[in-house]
Amino acid sequence: MCELRNDAEENLLAAILIAGQYNVPEVCLFFNNKLMRGNRTTKMSSDKIEAFDSPNLPSLAIFEVSIKINFDLVQRFTLEGKLKVQTEMEEQINILHISPCIDLDVIRMLF
C-alpha cells in the first residue's frame, strides 16, 4: 500500500500565521512554503507536491528557516480615493459546466 504525503496541515498553519501576524490585505494561497497572490496562482499538477504556482509573479512570502515577506509586491490597503461602484454589468454571460461526457453540440450552441 502506498501512503500519500499530505501537507494540508502545514499549509493551513502557515496561512493562519501569516493572517494573524502580517499585514497582507489580499486574497492569497499558501502552498509548498510559498504565499501566492490568489488571482495569479494556477494549478500546475494534480499529482505532485508542487501542485500550485504563480509563474507570472514572484511569491509574496517564502517560508524557509525564517519567514521572508516580499512587502514590495504586497498590495497596500488605502482609504484614499472614492469608492467606485460599477453599475453597468455585462448581461451576455454563459456558464459552461464541463464534464468528461459533455456533448460538443452543447458547446457549439453557446458560441
Is 8 within 8 Å of 31 (Cβ atoms)? Answer: no
Q: Is 32 exposed, middle or buried (0-12, 13-18, 19+ CB in 10 A)?
A: middle
Q: Which of 59-63, 77-81, 85-89, 107-111 has the highest mean pLDDT?
A: 59-63
In this predicted model, what pLDDT tens digit does every residue of 35-53 receive, in sequence order? Answer: 999 999 998 887 777 789 9
pTM over 0.75: no
